[in-house]
């Protein structure tokens, strides 16, 4: 039986990698993947806690997160495709036409 601290530590590591990925990388696809990494880090924490405390709600919310993430991926990828068609690039720093 692996102690839950390990899971939480892994979850924190994954979340940090994801967050850094979002902040540092400029490729929209990579940012997207980093966001997925953060989501799954959270999922891992949920499942770990659910297991520890014997509660089902943690398990259930993970399914919700997976479903929402799938929908998000569908919308997000469509946006990226649309942006690529107009700008011929998916570099997020190029997309700054809304600056104040």
Partner 1 sequence: MLLSEATTTGFFYLAPWIVFFPVIGLLLNIIIGGRLPERGIGWLASAASFASFVVSVLLAYSVWAGHGHVESVFLAEWMHIGALQLDWTFRVDTLSTTMMLVVSGVGTLIHIYAIGYMHEDVRFKNDPGRFRRFFVFLNLFIAMMMILVSGDSYLMLFVGWEGVGLCSFLLIGFWYDMDTLGRPSWANSNAGNKAFITNRIGDFGFLIAGFLMFTYLGSFQFDQVFAVAPDLAHHHPEIIIAITLFMLVGVAGKSAQIPLYVWLPDAMAGPTPVSALIHAATMVTAGVYLIARSAPLYTLVPAAQYVVAFIGAMTALFAATIAVGQYDIKKVLAYSTISQLGFMVAAVGMGAYVAGMFHLVTHAFFKALLFLSAGSVILGVERGHHHAAHGHGHHGDDHHEEVFDPGDMRNMGGMRKTMPVTFWLYMIGTLALAGIFPFAGFWSKDEILLDASLHYKGVYYLLAIAAFFTAFYMGRQIWMVFFGEARHEAAEKAEESPGIITVPLMVLAALSVLGGALNLPFDGFHNFGHWLEYTFEPFVHVEALPLDLVVAGTSTLLALIAIFISWLIYGRNPLKKGQPDPLKKPLGFIFTGMENKWFVDEGYFAVFINRYVDLANFLADHVDWRFWHDWFHDKVIAGTYNWLSNIALNRYADQRGIDAFFDGWGKVTKYLSASMRRVQNGFVRSYALSVLLGVVLILGYLLLK
Residues binding partner 1 (CB under 8 A): 19, 22-24, 26, 31, 92-93, 95-100
Shortest distance, position 90 Cβ to partner 1, whole Å? 12
Shortest distance, position 37 Cβ to partner 1, whole Å? 14
List helix spans (H) across the chain: 4-24, 28-53, 57-87
**Is residue 34 a contact partner of residue 51, using CB atoms and an 8 Å limit?**
no
Shortest distance, position 2 Cβ to partner 1, whole Å? 25
The helix/strand/coil state of 91 is strand
**Closer of 34 and 40 to partner 1 (Cβ):** 34
Q: Which of 34, 48, 37 minimizes the C-alpha distance to 5? A: 48
**Closer of 8 and 51 to partner 1 (Cβ):** 8
**Closer of 48 and 90 to partner 1 (Cβ):** 90
Torsion angle of C-alpha atoms 31, 34, 39, 42, degrees rounded to 10 = -140
């Amino acid at each position: 039986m692996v102690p839950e601290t390990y899971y939480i530590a892994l979850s924190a590591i994954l979340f940090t990698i994801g967050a850094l990925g979002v902040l540092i990388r400029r490729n929209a696809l990579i940012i997207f993947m980093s966001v997925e990494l953060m989501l799954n880090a959270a999922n891992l924490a949920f499942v770990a806690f659910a297991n520890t405390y014997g509660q089902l709600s943690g398990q259930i919310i993970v399914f919700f997160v997976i479903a929402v993430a799938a929908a998000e991926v569908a919308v997000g990828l469509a946006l990226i495709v649309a942006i690529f068609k107009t700008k011929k690039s998916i570099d997020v720093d190029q997309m700054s036409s809304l600056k104040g």
